[in-house]
Structure formats: structure tokens, C-alpha cells
Chain A
Amino acid sequence: MLKNKILTETQCYHCGENCKEESVELDNKSFCCQGCKLVFELLQENNLCGYYDLQASPGKTQTLLGNRYAYLDQSSISDNLILFKEGNVSHIQFHIPAMHCASCIWLLEHLNRLDTGIINSKTNFIQKDLHIIFDHTKTSLRNIVEKLHEIAYPPELNLKELEKSEKKVSSKTRIYKIGIAGFVFGNIMLLSFPEYFSSGKYEGEDFHRIFGYLNLLLSLPVFFYSASEFLENALLSFRQKVINIDVPIAIGIVAMFSRSIYEVVSDTGPGYFDSMTGLVFFMLIGRNFQSKTYEWLSFERDYKSYFPIAVSRLKGTEEDVVSVHDIKPNDRLFIRNQEIIPADVLLVSKHAQVDYSFVTGESREVTCQYGERIFAGARLIGKPVEVLVQKDVSHSYITKLWNQSSGKSETKSKYAHLTESISKWFVIVTMSIAVGALLFWYPTDPSRAMLAFTSVLVIACACALALSAPFTFGNMIRILGKRGIYLKNTKVLERLSNIDSIVFDKTGTLTSTGNYKVEYFGIELTDIQKQFIASIAHASSHPLSWMIANNLSSSNNKLPTTHLKEINGKGIEGCIHGRFVQLGSRSFIHVAEAQNENVKASEVGVSIDGKLLGYFYFKTSYRQSTSSLLHAMKKEGYKISVLSGDYNFEQSHLEELLEQKEGIQFEQKPIDKLNSIKELQSQGIKVMMVGDGLNDAGALLQSDVGLAIAEDINNFTPGSDGIILSKNFGQIGNLLRFAKSGHRIIMISFIISIFYNLVGLWFAVQGTLSPIIAAILMPISTSSLVVYTVLASSIKARSLGLTKMRA
């Protein structure tokens, strides 16, 4: 190992990480760890080094593979994963979150060189899926998964994958509808041109009748197929006695269609087929633009996405692999390093180190002793342990927590949307104008009365209503996506514009994970003592020790240590120059004065020759943007509160940061957080929750808008309405401002459309609306609104500094 050591800072050839002190060299290339080197060797052996030619350092940092895919040999499990089998050939599809560049595609599509049993592998980059066709007589599912893991593209295998019955079929029907509507719209426009230019008079033959019937024929698929979703939704809303945005659209479509049929059949005019098909075409495009989704992100995660598919169960001395669903109370399980414990268990081994970061969002290791209870969702670190199952998977603490907070979907859908409330008024106003025109003309000119009535319905279309929100919000969601803020759908933006209170989780949200400040309290250390401690700490395998080592020493000359002994979860000791140095927990350093004190933060005690010198404390540091964000949000009138699962040892600091005393609560259990949100909501306050861990999951679901913070977009995030990359945490203020401006843009576009409608109605009430006016007015109003909304939202984004900088 030591001869591979170099001291200058270099970058790993495979993953691009900065090589820390111990880099590994091969072929004049340096690697940050053995894992990365292994991948390189594997690729080199199989002649796959083209991987590195396509993009510099394309790899992902490595974790070493344990014996964790054994369960894939179980046919009951693998059969559930395999899509279908035929003869020797099996098909399987994996979700590979690590896929991120051209090199990834290249490597994943050349898997057959790593494993000759693989016949073909094909990626879908948008979905981050990999479809593999393999010969199951030559290789096995387990082999393939292990190979993928070795080259650092571990597939996502969890309980949810096992349960998925069918992959969500992305709605292609809307694309079909748009295609057909566009085709018909274009052709009817062409056939209507003679009508526009000669205003209905043809030389000689009666082409206009032929054209009229042709238009009628063409428009049938648009009315019955493309427009079906508007008509069906409108019917549905009639039955539920509410008026949604589809009602005015459906009225317009039906009015135009029936009036056009009447005109063609009675040979009184060409009809409004062009306007009708155009309307349907534009509306469908608007709907499609609005429904921008991030298919590779999952906003609907529940605990199942976190849990493994199978675990090892011990029967006597034998070990077999069972599906997580089949675990029963009193089963003994064997949990390996980095595995997630799927149920509430009792520890049977002496001690275990677990990390509850999935549950609490706080990645601090917890040491458990024999007989202690470990909750589902904990990840084991270090030596494998045996545990005794207490409850079924479906009855564990975390599952219950999840079920308590479900049922939010209905509370959120009750939210009255801007367009919905306006469309009600729109219907009332247009209907009364139409009826008014009918009544006005009826006594003098009955035929003109009918004409005016239908004309009003035809021209007063809900274009602005139906298009401005989709295009504004659709564009905004795209802009935000480029900035690393991913929202679930456009409704989130509408809700965001009404938020008046923001609740933050502390750890992992206001503070950044993994970024600790090391502070020392105690007798001042001399330089030589510092060097002693650094040398001991450097020899340890514990991350806290490394932090101490990095904190203490700038130089790299380590002193030779003897009698080095490390006890997992306790500490490390050793002799340097005849001095006995201990570094570790209070119980480890055996110093009298160290006992009986309240342990508040992560700490490491240090003693030399049995004399306690002091403690190192590890404080999480707040994100750089935290204080400015909180300040700005307070200034803009948002009510801020902080809910923390931690002890209150940072209360004063937080109060200072927030410049307020109320609204800061510590030692909050997940259910407390959920209840706090509920309480705020019962006062009529619209709450936005910002959190990161599963412990916030309930609160995220309950809140009006739940934003999850993710360090890396491929990481697990709890179910939420939006995911923000942690480096963009400071942009939350801009997000709220942006959402508010979206509201304003839509209001302005409504005002513009009122102007168009007034012009149209002017002709309509007099009964002089000709198809050509409709055919001109409709596209102009639609396109100008689309241009306005998209431009206005883009300009706003630029002025807020939200554009550029890809995530």
C-alpha cells in the first residue's frame, strides 16, 4: 500500500474524485481507491477502455461489493424480476440511477464483452433503464447484477421493483391525438383557402359543397377522438356539479361542430371546422406542454423503495434467503455490512453499528448493544450481525409512520385552482351574453338570433383560460428543472404561490450533511501532543478520527506508533515515543472525570498516559446560504419555523440565525413534525415543508408543498412535491418569488384575452361573425398569448438569476 502513496493532489482516472492521501497507481494512472482501480482493470482486461475516451473520468466512486446479491439465485425472486423467458433467453429491465453520460451508455451497451451470456443490452437514457437480453443457461441474474455492481452501475433493486406489476405506460394517446388533430387542422385550412379568398363565390362548379363535406368528414376523428378528453371531462364535471376548465372548451367545441354541420348540410356556409380543429390542436399541445415529467425521478417513493428485496434468514446453523414479505416475528436474520434492516428487530449479536440516515436524515452512527431494539430502515455498518425479528415488515414503526400520513392526496386535490375558479365565471358570463343576444334578436329576426347565439359560443372560446396556465407553468417548470429544482407537476407551482409559512427541518436541510466542524474543548494542546493525536487518529478506520487527523495536522509526517489497537465503536489506542495515547468515547478512555456528564453532541475524548486532555466535538455546519435565505424569507413576510429531531444543544445558535425565539422545536419525532404541520394548517395557514429524511416524510406529505433536499439526484428522497439539489438550497427564495410571478403573468394574459374576446363578441352579438374572422382571430389570440406567457416567464427567470447553470 505504502509504495503507492503519493502526496500531491491528483484526480482519479476513473471517477475524477480528488485522490486523498492514499492513491493507487497503475499504468501511470492514479485512482482514488482500490475499487476504482479494479473497475479500470476489469475494463482493460476486456478491452473496454474506450469508456475513458468518450469522457474524462466518467466513473462513479466505488464501494466494495459484499456478498449481497445471493438472493438473486432464488428462483422465486428472480422470476418476479425477469420480464419474460423464452427458451434459453430471458429479458430483464433494470433501473440504473448512476447512468449519466455517453460513456455510461457505451459501457452498458457493451456488457456482452464482460459476460458472454449477455446477448444484448440496450439503454434508455431518459428513463435510466437498461434492458438486458441474456442466455440464462450461460449466465445468471446474480452474475449480471454483480457485474453491473462491479463496474459501478448497481441496478436499483428494492421491494418496490418486485411489486411493480406494470411499468407506467407513458401516455402516447395524447401524442396520437395531437398528430391527428394537426393533420386534420392543416388539411382543413388548405381546403378552406378558396373560401377565405373568394368569400364563398366560386366560378362554375359547386366546389364549396364538396369542400364542405370533405371538411366535415375530416373533422370527425378530431371531434370524436382528439377532443374526447375535453368532452368527457366536461360531462363528468356536469355530473359532479362543478365547473372545470374543460366545460367552456367543450361548449365551444360542440357549438362550433354542430353549427358547422348545420351550415354544410343546409348549404348556408362553410362552417367553422378550421377554427374547431385548430382549437383542439392548440389545447392538446398546451396540455402536453404542461405535463412535463421527470421520468427518471420518483416523487412517489414510499418505504418500499428503500427496502431490500430479500434477506438471509438463519435456521439453526443454515442460512437461506427469503423475500422480505415472508419474514415473520421470531425469525433470526443475518444482516451484512451496508444492508438495510427491513423490520423492527432485537439485536442478538454483541453490538452493532447502525446508521439511521434513511429514517432520520441524520447520518450519525449509533451503536447498539445486545438486546437493544433496532428499528426498520436502519443500515448496518461494519461487522455482520444477527437479529431477531419482532414484527412483520408491514407492522414496523416506519411503515406505520408512512400509513399515518397517507391520504394527503385528497386534501391537496381539493385546492381550488386559479383557472378553475375563473372558468366558472367565464361560463356564466358567456352563457348570459349568448342568451342575451338570443333574446335581443329573437322578436325581430329569429334566424339571426340563432346565429348570434351560436356565434357567441363559438368565438368566446376559453383559449386564454386553457392555455395561459399550461404554458406559463410548463415553461417555468422547465426553467427550474435546468436549475436543479425538480417539481412534480405544474399544480405545485400554483400552490407555491399561495404559501405563507415555511417549515424547515434542521439537520440535512439547514445544515449540510457530512460537513462537520471539529472543535476542541479542554486543556490546550501542545504541538507535539497534536502530532501524537493526529498520528493515532490517522491509523484509525473511523471517519471521526479522520476528521480529527485532518483538523490537527497540516504536515504529513506521521510518528511511528506501536501497540496499536482499535475497538470498533469504541476508540483507538497506541504508544508513541513511550507515551500511551487513547482516542475514543467516554467509556473507552476510562477517565473518572469523563463519566456522568450529559452527552450532547458527537464527541471524541482524548487522553495521554491516562490523563484526560479534552474532547473533540463535531458540529454540523449550516449551509452557506442558510442565513441569507432565512433572512430574506422573513423579510418577505413568510412565517418561518424549524423542527429538529436533534437535542436542543444548538438552540441559541439557531435563535440567533432566525432572529426569533418562537417556532423552533427540538426533539421532534416524525409524528410530531406531522402534527405541527397539521396544526398550522388548521389555522388556515398554507405551509411549505422543506426536509430531507424519511423522518420528514410524513410532514412533507401533509404540507401544502413538500420540498425534499437531495445531495445527489440519484439518492433516495422521501415522497414529495419537488426535489431540490442541496447546492441550490439558497434558491428556495427565488423559487417562491418565481411562483408568485407566474400567478401574475397568468392574470395579465387573462386581461389580454378579454380584449380579444370583446372584439370577437362585437361581431358575434350582431350575428355578423363570419368563419374567416373566427379563423383569423383564434390563431392570433392563441399564439400571442403563448408567446406572451413563455416570454414573460423566461424574462422573469432571468431577472431572478434562475437561468443558465445546468444542474
Chain B
Amino acid sequence: MSVILILIAFSLLVAGSFLVGFLWSVKTGQYDDDVSPAIRILFDEEIVTPKEQPNSKNTDAV
């Protein structure tokens, strides 16, 4: 039955790593602004109307 001790130790280890992950994500400010990242991901590389395309390609390096 001592296998259960190993399992408990392992489960605590896994859960603990999630806790550390959570604390890290809070610390690095990933929850500070929950609006703009959600919007940012929807921006395409270029939203350009067709007639204006030619001179745009060289300016979008960030």
C-alpha cells in the first residue's frame, strides 16, 4: 500500500508546479490587462484596403 505515498508525493509535486505557474503568471503581469491581448490577437498583419497595398510591405517590421 505504500505505493499510495508515492502517488501522493507525486500529486503534490504536480499540483505544486501548477501553483508556481500561477504565481509566476500573476507576477509577470499576465492578468493586468485582460482586454487588449484579446483584441490584439485579432489584428491581422495588415488590414489594408486593396488600392493602398503597394507601399505598405516594407513598414510592418516590429
Contacts and interface: CB of A to CB of B under 8 A. Distances in A.
B27 A179 contact: no
A183 B15 contact: yes
B36 to A, nearest CB: 4
Nearest to A119: B62
Interface of A: 44, 46-47, 49-50, 53-54, 102, 105-106, 109, 112-113, 120, 123-127, 170, 172, 175-176, 179-180, 183, 186-187, 190-191, 204-205, 207, 210, 214
Q: Which of B31, B43, B60 has the most CB of A within 10 A?
A: B43
Q: 3 closest Cβ contacts across the A-B interface?
A: A50-B47, A125-B35, A125-B36
Contacts of B55: 47
A105 B59 contact: no
Contacts of B19: 179-180, 183
Contacts of B43: 50, 106, 109
B26 A175 contact: yes
Interface string B24-62: 001100011111100110110011110010011001101
B26 to A, nearest CB: 5
Q: Is the interface of A mostly helix, strand, loop or mixed?
A: helix
Q: Which of B35, B39, B49 has the most CB of A within 10 A?
A: B39
A112 B62 CA distance: 8
Interface in B3-20: 4-5, 8, 11-12, 15-16, 18-19
Contact of B59 (A47, A53, A204): A47
Interface residues of B, number: 35
Contact of B62 (A120, A124, A186, A187): A120
Contacts of A44: 52
A127 B31 CA distance: 12
B33 A127 contact: yes
A179 B23 contact: yes
A207 B5 CA distance: 9
Contact of B40 (A109, A175, A204): A109
B40 A105 contact: yes
B4 to A, nearest CB: 8
B41 to A, nearest CB: 11
A756 B45 CA distance: 59
A46 B59 CA distance: 9
B39 A126 contact: no
A47 B62 contact: no
Given A126-B34, A183-B19, A50 B46 contact: yes
A188 to B, nearest CB: 11
Contact of B5 (A47, A172, A175, A210): A210
Contacts of B27: 172
Nearest to A202: B1
A105 B39 contact: yes
A210 B36 CA distance: 48
Contacts of A49: 47-49, 52
